[in-house]
DNA sequence: TCAATGTGAGAGCACTGCTCTCGAATTGAA
DNA sequence: TTCAATTCGAGAGCAGTGCTCTCACATTGA
């Protein structure tokens, strides 16, 4: 029987995170522990019983955000016919964008400029790879089905070695260096597209954001699958 | 004869900006007016005679950074033979990356997640377009030379209208909607690639960053010029 | 029952951006 | 040259921040 104390602790921890998310969405990236404490009606010092520091709280939020984005990508990808590789890839891209548009400040937390003092803890690198892993699994299946033709590893050997190291991971095994490289290119472009849109870098230039993004996904899906 | 007071004012203004840049490079994005004042041996309140606020100082730095990056792109592009459109495009991309690697914190200021309270003033949108304008001029020349084949405007009409609005600008006039759209795609990818590298999003994955970037530029140059 | 532990509150430290006031220096015109 | 107007630096002060420490109280498990 989980002690009473443990339960209220878990609940309060969740409440703090919820308030933090709320404040993050309202105020932008500068999260204030004191403001959270005020909102919850407790002393700011009491927060430190639950999170060792502001960075600790941020890390917890980042972790959950990665998981949420990864799960969104996985769910979207799962609804597409398994042999429709372009559709799966595209669905994953759109899911990542949709999640990001729905959670802009959390996206900025994940993919915005890194906070000066803050170094991403080890614990975040796993969940951070989850969205990429979905894209990777599509490529893996496409290669296994013979839809992507295998090409020799790209030059220079140093880059090929990087790719080979990634291919050792079971998530990506079998993709082949050339296709994996194209996948990375697409991942970079996907991130650029979402960041541009979210950070308003195309405001007053591209107003048809949906169509612009969709076209970009079409182009990069073709690039990834057919070279 | 510019009064003595005006001259020392200009000098001090420059010194403040220099100290700010120094501190920005050393400490990361959280610029402290008080720390600048300390470094210059003056009272923090005196800084407000030169910049109305912290955001004002940041805006000044951002403006100069845009100009510096744009100039780097222009200079690099100018050294390539005029009829080597792929070379011009590629040189511009590499110049933007080189400048960014040399000025990482300033790059983060320009293209990182927007600071919550800070709204980019009108004065910055001109210089912000300067790097893009260089890429645009290459496309314009390539189309004029018949190297890029003209294609019908992309769907949907809403997006085509966005592109047509951009084409009204003399910098981009004559490119054509389809090629301009590909140019935007490349610009997005270029930004994504530099951000990924600078923000450490590919650390421990891609170590051959130069080769990775070069390959990406090659791919997107081909995409832009030949579809 | 009771000592060990977990928890909340408050005071306090060093820091931030920013405002205000008050002398002192520089200016340009009379 | 005189003198009012302007500019400027310094200091105090306000409200806010993350974080630490101490102290009283509540909850545990033996």
pLDDT (tens digit per residue) in B101-123: 999 999 999 998 877 667 677 77
A222 pLDDT more than 90: yes
A-chain CB neighbours of B162 within 8 Å are: 205-208, 212
Q: Which has more pLDDT, A212 or A173?
A: A212
Residue from A35, A65, A113, A132 whose CB has the most chain B CBs within 10 Å, to mutate: A113
Instruction: Please measure the distance between the N-terminal and C-terminal CA atoms of chain B and give it in whole angstroms.
Output: 58
Model confidence band, residue B20 (pLDDT cutoffs 50, 70, 90): very high
B-chain CB neighbours of A185 within 8 Å are: 189, 215-216, 219
- Measure CB to CB from residue B216 to each of A125, A188, A211 and give the nearest one: A188
Average pLDDT of chain B? Answer: 92
B182 pLDDT more than 90: yes
B-chain CB neighbours of A159 within 8 Å are: 206, 208, 211-212, 215
Look at A6-20, A119-133, A191-205, B70-84 and tell me which has the smallest mean pLDDT.
Answer: A119-133
Model confidence band, residue B91 (pLDDT cutoffs 50, 70, 90): very high
- DSSP 8-state assignment for residue B122: G
Helices (H) and strands (E) in chain B, counts: 11, 0
Model confidence band, residue A143 (pLDDT cutoffs 50, 70, 90): very high
Tell me the nearest-neighbour CA distance from A82 into chain B, angstroms.
28
Nearest residue in chain B measured CA to CA from A114: B199
* The pLDDT of residue A203: 87
B71 pLDDT more than 90: yes
> A26: which residues sit within 8 A by CB, 6+ positions away?
none
Q: How far apart are CA A178 and CA A201, in angstroms?
A: 31
- Measure CB to CB from residue B159 to each of A162, A191, A211 and give the nearest one: A211
* The pLDDT of residue A7: 87
* The pLDDT of residue A114: 78
Q: How far apart are CA B25 and CA B111, in angstroms?
A: 16
Neighbouring CB atoms inside 10 A of B179's CB total: 24
A22 pLDDT more than 60: yes
What would the mean pLDDT of B18-38 be, rounded to a whole number?
91
B218 pLDDT more than 50: yes
ipTM of the complex: 0.93
Per-residue pLDDT of B137-166, as tens digits, reads 999 999 999 999 888 889 899 999 999 999
Q: How far apart are CA B154 and CA B36, in angstroms?
A: 51
A208: left (phi over 0), alpha (psi -120 to 50) or beta: beta
Model confidence band, residue B1 (pLDDT cutoffs 50, 70, 90): very low
> A52: which residues sit within 8 A by CB, 6+ positions away?
none
Q: How far apart are CA A118 and CA A115, in angstroms?
A: 5
B69 contacts B130 by C-beta, under 8 angstroms: yes
Residue A91's Cβ-side half-sphere holds a number of Cα atoms within 13 Å equal to: 19
Q: How far apart are CA A96 and CA B176, in angstroms?
A: 31
Nearest residue in chain A measured CA to CA from B23: A116
Look at A3-7, A11-15, A130-134, B39-43 and tell me which has the smallest mean pLDDT.
Answer: A3-7
Task: Please classify residue A117 by burial: count the beta carbons closer than 10 Å to its beta carbon, then call 0-12 exposed, 13-18 middle and 19+ buried.
Answer: exposed
A-chain CB neighbours of B155 within 8 Å are: 211
Q: Who touches strand C, with Cβ under 7 Å?
A: A 5-6, 8-9, 12, 41-46, 49-50; B 3-5, 31-35, 44-45, 48, 52-55
What would the mean pLDDT of A129-133 be, rounded to a whole number?
92
- Counting residues of chain A whose pLDDT is more than 70, the rounded percentage is 97
Model confidence band, residue A116 (pLDDT cutoffs 50, 70, 90): low
């Amino acid at each position: 029987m989980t002690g009473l104390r443990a339960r209220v602790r878990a609940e309060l921890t969740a409440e703090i995170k919820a308030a933090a998310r709320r404040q993050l969405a309202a105020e932008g990236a500068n999260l204030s522990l004191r403001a959270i404490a005020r909102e919850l009606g407790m002393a700011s010092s009491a927060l430190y019983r639950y999170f060792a520091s502001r960075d600790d709280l941020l890390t917890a939020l980042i972790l959950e955000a990665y998981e949420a984005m990864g799960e969104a990508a996985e769910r979207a990808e799962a609804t597409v016919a398994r042999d429709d590789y372009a559709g799966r890839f595209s669905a994953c891209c759109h899911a990542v964008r949709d999640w990001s548009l729905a959670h802009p400040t959390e996206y900025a937390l994940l993919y915005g400029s890194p906070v000066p003092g803050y170094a991403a803890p080890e614990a975040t690198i796993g969940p951070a790879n989850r969205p990429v892993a979905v894209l990777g699994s599509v490529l893996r299946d496409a290669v296994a089905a013979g839809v992507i033709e295998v090409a020799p590893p790209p030059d220079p050997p140093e880059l090929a070695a990087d790719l080979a190291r990634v291919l050792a991971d079971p998530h990506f095994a079998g993709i082949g260096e050339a296709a994996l490289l194209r996948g990375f290119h697409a991942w970079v472009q996907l991130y650029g597209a979402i960041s541009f849109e979210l950070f308003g870098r195309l405001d007053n230039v591209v107003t048809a954001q949906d169509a612009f993004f969709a076209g970009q996904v079409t182009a990069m899906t073709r690039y990834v699958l057919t070279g």
